[in-house]
Amino acid sequence: MGIGIALYFSLRFEPEPGHWLALGLLGGACLALLRIAPGAGAFGLGAALVITGLGLAGLRAHMLAGPVLGFRYYGPVEGRIIAIDRSASDKVRLTLDRVVLKRLAAARTPHRVRVSLHGQQGFFAPVPGQTVILTGHLAAPSGPAEPGGFDFQRHAWFQRLGAVGYTRTPALLLRPAEDGARGLFVQRLRQAISARVQEALPGRTGTFAAAITTGDRSGMDTATLAALRASNLAHLLAISGLHMGLLTGFVFAAIRLGLALVPWAALRWPCHKIAAGGALVAGAIYLALSGGNVATERAFIMVAMMFLAVLFSRRAITLRAVALAAVLVLTLRPEALMGPGFQMSFAATTALVAAFGAMRGWRWQQALPGWARPVLGLFVSSLVAGLATAPIAAAHFNQVPHYGLIANLVSVPLMGAAIIPAAVLAALLSPFGLEAAGLALMAPGIDWILAVADRIAGLPGALSRIVAPPGAVLPLIALGGLWAVLWRGPARHAGPVAVLAAFALWSQAERPALLISSNGGLLGLLTEEGRALSKPRGDGFTAGIWLENDGDPASQDIAAQRAGIAPGKGDARVTLGPHRITHLTGRGAAERVGPA
């Protein structure tokens, strides 16, 4: 299925109805092989799954189709707030639906738009469900900043974003949120919980607590985010497998222990199944309060598979359960395959299940003292998960945190031992207005994690930049890793060979010698010093992506000072091998082509 989904997203055209019909017939023929030629059944089933992945991705893309703004818009924007976060420039950003744009018919108006709030703001406190009005600049989501780069246009399509932009004038409240589900009750509850958490725990301690309890990162400052990324602790902010596993695991253990303390119940009731059911309910509530984003949804599916196995008296943690969870996620959201969240989550989970499965028969573990076993488990889990996810993180984010293992070893235990249990206690006490007691217990652990992040990020050489890999690298690493884990016999050694081949291919990665932004306003020439840019300001998003993919830590203004591009008034001149290139910008550029 994953191969089929990847094939769909690699297509340079949208298949016609005739193509889909032919693929459907081919899929039926592949399934028929299961009965006609049992010996070729594995091939037929595999081919049918590839075609199923293609079909699911195409179906999902068409289901989410909506109007995309076809021109640059400036004027009044009205809409209902459905999400609040922060932009890369650290500004509050609103996602709006029920959009109204001046002189634009409803059939051509995007279903959703996203607007960053610049300039003077603060005339109201944004809350999901409110209808706001503002004067903004909007445009269609942009495509990749360079060939083969991250495709924001595709990302926006699956979020139903038909336009993105900003405003420099105040956003104003037009109507308050409606009551009930139509007023986005759950989202407003999340916002209220986040505000209460940040009121009880001021500063970045509160914003961290709000992020791990409700998924609201809108209060997190960029400096703290940078420190967490440089120390490889940023995953603690995302409500994903770690948080969902810790929370549901704690609830499971607490319910089972509580029932075990009652002899009559322990002897008569299936305590482990009752605990599994309670943990499932807790996970579902956590999913709803966290906003139900893709990472949390994926994590809930994985823990749900585990606890359903307990309810049906099956082994809870197996590679089959991981595969089934992946199939469910890809069926619901095929586009998740292309994101780092899905890739890192399932890479870590698969590697951990395989590693601890291989260690199950090792006798030397039994010789260890009791206190040493959890320490060994923590070290092995951090090492295995870190090794499994490091290539994916490096490929997507172009950076390698060198001390991430140390930071995780001294921080992750606090999440399970103190922070998550304290969060559960705060939730249980909140109906009585006593949640501050639980939140206060979270604070020391959070402060420790933030201090570790600052300390590790400040070490010399804590972070290295790395060049973006060729497109074949990550698929080759994934296929090689899965082959090594799933295959039996001597042929499994082909898996590590494929992984090594991928790294060899990565080491030979070449960057484009010359890049031009989609609007023609920015030029980037690769020189011995690094990529030289044609201007120090403007097109900052594109410039940042170019430098990031080069593995270059320089800022745009520093890159603009590099030699290689001869500046001029309204033009820039570049020599590329035997070619001389003149880059004309500004008014009258077309008229200056001849003289140039």
Mean pLDDT value of segment 11-15: 88
pLDDT at 114: 96
160: left (phi over 0), alpha (psi -120 to 50) or beta: left
Residue 592 above 70 pLDDT?
A: no
Residue 97 above 80 pLDDT?
A: yes
Element at 410 (helix H, strand E) = helix 404-414
Question: CB under 8 Å to 141, separation ≥6 — which residues?
Answer: 68, 152, 153, 155, 156, 157, 161, 162, 163, 164
For residue 319, how far is the Cα from the chain centroid?
23
78-87, 289-298, 320-329, 419-428: the lowest-pLDDT one: 289-298
pLDDT at 537: 85
**Model confidence pLDDT, tens digit, residues 329-345:** 899 899 999 988 888 88
Residue 595 above 60 pLDDT?
A: no
The tokens for 245 are 């596993």
The pairing of beta strand 161-167 with beta strand 92-101:
unpaired
As a whole number, the mean pLDDT across the chain is: 86
**Model confidence pLDDT, tens digit, residues 455-513:** 999 999 888 899 999 989 999 999 999 999 888 888 888 999 999 999 999 999 999 99
Mean pLDDT value of segment 110-130: 90
pLDDT at 488: 83
Residue 241 above 90 pLDDT?
A: no
CA–CA gap between residue 485 and residue 224 (Å, rounded) = 37
Residue 181 above 70 pLDDT?
A: no
Residue 336 phi/psi, 5-degree rounding, is -65, -25
For residue 67, how far is the Cα from the chain centroid?
25
pLDDT at 539: 83
**Model confidence pLDDT, tens digit, residues 276-301:** 999 999 999 888 887 766 678 878 88
pLDDT at 474: 93
**Model confidence pLDDT, tens digit, residues 190-231:** 888 888 999 999 999 999 999 888 888 888 888 898 899 889
Looking at this protein, which amino acid is placed at residue 225?
L
Nearest to 448 by CA among 185, 300, 231: 231
DSSP structure class, residue 492: G
More confident residue, 528 or 447: 447
Nearest to 242 by CA among 186, 286, 177, 193: 286
**Model confidence pLDDT, tens digit, residues 429-438:** 988 888 999 9
**Model confidence pLDDT, tens digit, residues 522-577:** 888 898 889 999 888 888 889 999 999 999 989 889 998 888 887 666 677 788 87
Nearest to 111 by CA among 61, 69, 169, 171: 69
* DSSP state letters, 155-184: HHHHTTEEEEEEESS--EEEEPPPSSGGGT
Looking at this protein, which amino acid is placed at residue 324?
L
Burial profile 54-77: b = 16 or more Cβ within 10 angstroms, e = fewer = bbbbbebbeeeeebbbeeebeeeb
Element at 266 (helix H, strand E) = helix 263-268
Residue 101 phi/psi, 5-degree rounding, is -120, 140
